[in-house]
Structure 1
Amino acid sequence: MSKAASTQKVTGRKPASWTQDPEGVRRNILTVAKEEFVENGLSGARVDEIAARTATSKRMIYYYFGDKEGLYRAVLEEMYERIRGFERSLDLASLPPVEAMTLLAGFTFDYHAENPDFVRLVMVENIHHGRHLASSDRIASLNLSAIDMIREAYERGVAAGLFRPGIEALDIHLTISALAFYNVSNRASIRQVFGHDMGAPEALARRRAAAIDTLLRMLHP
């Protein structure tokens, strides 16, 4: 039984068509597409499979997104919008500089640990040399705003004598991201090489504390 038929049987209603809820259909396509791209990468993903798992058609997917690469780019944009939205909600500008950096480092570590699909898609995009990121003005704008947020907190810390001067905001971002990203991207290889599960609760807590400590030592005057 198809997913759409199953939904109808349980609820007694037909799934909403694209004319009834176009935004809902679009969100459904993006959700299923993300799962397909995470599992199979851009090259291995199949639009036919995505269409079969949604309440729409291959033709409608192309109507919304143009082609498979357009759909993949839209998934990337949604994922970057999500993490940057959560970062904005931290309201770092309202916090003292050290507290702001501590919160950001801890949040970034937790977000990556709880959203391994984000890490997998970034890895997929690196295989394709970042060309879809490069073609998205939306993602470029989102990521620049993240650097501006770090720069503001860092400069306040320098002015207060809490952080040493001369560090680029981008380098701070790269350090935070690297410490969070590696803990997810390399779990399988570290488990095989060292027999260590980086996803275990006690290991996560230890690495999280180390990530925050590393950043603060980097910034310390």
Structure 2
Amino acid sequence: MDAAPPRTVPRSPRAEATRQRILDAALAEFAARGLAGARVDDIALRSGANKRMLYAYFGSKEDLWLTVLETAYEAKRAEERALHVGDLPPADAMARLVRFNLRYTARHPEFVSLLNQENIHRAAYLSRSERVRAMYSPLLGTLSDVLARGAAAGVFRQGVDPMQAYVTIVAIGHFYVANMHTLSTIFGTELGAEPALEAREAHCVEVVLGWLRP
């Protein structure tokens, strides 16, 4: 691997635009080819920047991979925060969170690809990120509040672990999208079509709310 010079922080709008182009190009290359298969030359070519600039802004290819991961997680959390589930009745809040996670995953197959690749690496790069861990503490706090309000209102059972609840919510959507092509082939139906997504969405909401019922 080429040696990477110390990273610099873009200061001008033009420099920031170049940095964003590199990030966008890296996301596309990493999602398509993974960390091992993506080449810095191809990322630079796709972004219209040169390798020197890429290394100046991000360091090594591995550092760029981690930045892409962090940015992808941050984008999802930003949309999750915009749901304002704390302002909704508990059952509505939970249903909105379930729908969002399925639909977000379906809209962003590149996010699925990045997570699958990072799991192949056993989260070796994500484990370096304090930034991502910090994003999820407020989420679990919000979910804890929804669960507590639901239990107090008698619509949710007591003692639900918010982390387990969130993992379940994410999993039932992520598995569907991550395996959409194989499942569509096996069952002979296009699971990415809107009617199929609507059916899956309704099923996911029913499963989660049924599990939470006292």
Kindly indicate whether the alpha-carbon contact (under 8 Å) linking 1:47 and 1:68 is maintained by their aligned counterparts in 2. yes
Contact 1:18 1:25 in 2 (8 A): no
Q: Deviations over 1:52-73 (max 9, x none)?
A: 1222211111111110011011
* TM-score w.r.t. length of structure 2: 0.92
Q: How does 1:9-24 map to 2 (within 5 A)?
A: 21-24=14-17
The residue type equivalent to 1:33 in the other structure is: A
8 Å contact from structure 1 (residues 33, 50) kept in 2? yes
2:27 aligned residue: 34
Alpha-carbon distance in 2 for matches of 1:187, 1:178: 14
Name 1:138's counterpart in structure 2: 131
Match in the other structure for 2:71: 78
Q: Which residue of 2 aligns with 1:212?
A: 205
- Work out whether 1:181 is the aligned partner of 2:169: no
Identity %, equivalent residues: 39
Note if contact 2:25-2:47 (Cα within 8 Å) is conserved in structure 1.
Answer: yes
Distance, in Å, in 2 between the alignment partners of 1:41 and 1:98 is 38
Q: CA deviation at 1:47?
A: 0.4
SS of structure 2 residue aligned to 1:90: coil
Which region of structure 1 is more displaced relative to structure 2, 130-139 or 28-37?
130-139
Superimposed CA distance per residue, residues 159-198 of structure 1 (whole angstroms, 9 cap, x where no aligned partner)? 1211101210011101110111011100121123222321
- Structure scoring higher RCO (CA < 8 A, sep ≥ 6) equals 2
- Residue 37 (structure 2) aligns with: 44
Equivalent in 141, 153, 156 of residue 148 of structure 1: 141
Aligned to 1:7: none
Question: Aligned-residue CA RMSD in angstroms?
Answer: 1.5
Which letter maps to 1:145?
Answer: P
Contact 2:190–2:196 (Cα < 8 Å) also in 1: yes
Match of 2:7 in 1: none
- Aligned partner of 2:162 in structure 1 is 169
Q: What secondary structure does 1:157 align onto?
A: helix
Moved over 6 A (4+): none
2:49 to 45, 48, 56: 56
Q: CA deviation at 1:20?
A: 5.7
Return 5+ residue gaps in structure 1 as ranges: 1-16
For residues 111 and 136 of structure 2, the distance between their equivalents in structure 1, rounded to whole angstroms, comes to 15
Please, which moves more after superposition, 148-157 or 41-50?
148-157
Q: Is the 8 A contact 2:147 2:162 kept in 1?
A: yes
Whether the 8 Å CA contact 1:133–1:140 is kept in 2: the answer is: no
- Counterparts of 2:190 and 2:60, CA distance in 1: 39
1:66–1:216 Cα change, 3 Å:
same
- Match status 1:111 vs 2:85: no
* 130-139 vs 32-41, greater mean Cα deviation: 130-139
**Count, aligned residues:** 205
1: distance between equivalents of 2:148 and 2:109? 32
1:199 aligns with 2:172: no
TM-score by length of 1: 0.89
C-alpha separation in 2, matches of 1:20 and 1:108: 33
Give unmatched runs, 5+ long, in structure 2: 1-9
CA contact (8 A) 1:163 1:220 kept: yes
